[in-house]
Structure 1
């Protein structure tokens, strides 16, 4: 190992580096220490026996472990706290998945506009944004339909009467969004979007604003920590508005 520079503080890091596993948190801890100006005395734990012996010696349950000035700081999360950085709470409410969907949908809509020589901002771009958003939200639900359906049953009025609707809903949303994006078969996409969006909006209003229930939103799939309310209502209102807009367009061509 190369000599450590004398002008930098030294942190000692113990992390798992095995033939079939390299601890990702050990890599993140090493990178964070280096960003903070530390030279890292990097010790590899190369076998399960060596790792277990290290844990027993220092009375710790996990690796990596960081030591600064001879004092044990702890694992990666402890290191972040030591530097005054935030540590993500896996159970905390987060709107990041929804914001990511909206941002990616907007970029895809802009890209499609560019490919079709359409104005970057306009009604056509708005249509494409809504359609792509529906497709992306459906994709998130389809990643774990069972978990989505379980959460969906907590508040959707139709799903409570017809359980299979919770499994069908993502496919209906995906199909309607795809047809709307392609501007195909409005006789099918419009009523589907009106139905699922309308039922969804009524269900959210009843559960959140009338019954005052605190529930998680199934809009980004069953693994999200988004509270039921504004986001899910926005999803449903967007579908209804899109369907009405396309229905008006169809009527205008007759």
Structure 2
């Protein structure tokens, strides 16, 4: 039986080229452009554009994880502090991410969505920091099985970037 890609012997050069991250950059760019397009078409403001961009980003990331939930859970439990204790959380995380994305897109209960985003992704960032400090070399499961790069500062930047955006949106709504 073949092992999961998260556990395969890794190429030393994996994740060293900017082209290795093209799927991630394209997802970010498309999410931002879609967010701006909808904000412009609905005469929304910057907060609306941020809501839509975060919503698209989180929904697409969730979808990519849902393509291969077992592979995602295998990789996620290697570094996420809660997934290490509960495999169920590894399976639920893409659904939680999808719910957050839909929350941003719908703009329903924004304070709850901001707080949940800050809590969940902030806690996730702690696990990434811990794994990076330990020198853990695994595939980043953040985009499911599409991205073949190591868990790295890119993952940390993704988590912290969304936390910062949630904090900005929350503060702008106060």
> TM bucket by the smaller chain?
0.7 to 0.9
1:97 equivalent to 2:30? Answer no
Write the deviation string for residues 74-113 of structure 1: whole angstroms up to 9, x where unpaired.
xxxxxxxxxxxxxxx9x95421210121121122112202
Shift of 1:139: 1.3
1:230 equivalent to 2:159? Answer no
Structure 1 length as normaliser, TM-score? 0.57
Shift of 1:223: 4.2
1:213 equivalent to 2:139? Answer no
CA distance in 1, matches of 2:161, 2:55: 9
1:169 equivalent to 2:93? Answer yes
**In structure 2, which of residues 79, 84, 97 is the aligned counterpart of residue 160 of structure 1?**
84
Q: How do 1:135-150 residues align onto structure 2 when only pairs under 5 Å count?
A: 135-150=59-74
Q: Could you say which structure has the higher helix fraction?
A: 2
Match of 2:56 in 1: 132
Q: Which has the higher contact order (CA 8 A, sep 6+)?
A: 2
**In structure 2, which of residues 35, 43, 53 is the aligned counterpart of residue 117 of structure 1?**
43
What stretches of structure 1 move > 4 A for 4+ residues in a row?
none
Match of 2:106 in 1: 182
Structure 2 length as normaliser, TM-score? 0.80
1:187 to 1:118, Cα distance in 2 relative to 1, 3 A? closer
Match of 2:7 in 1: none
Q: Can you give the 5+ residue segments of structure 1 that lack an aligned partner in the other structure? A: 1-88
Write the deviation string for residues 27-55 of structure 1: whole angstroms up to 9, x where unpaired.
xxxxxxxxxxxxxxxxxxxxxxxxxxxxx
Shift of 1:249: 4.1
Write the deviation string for residues 164-202 of structure 1: whole angstroms up to 9, x where unpaired.
111111111111121122211134312321222011110
Equivalent pairs counted in the alignment come to 159
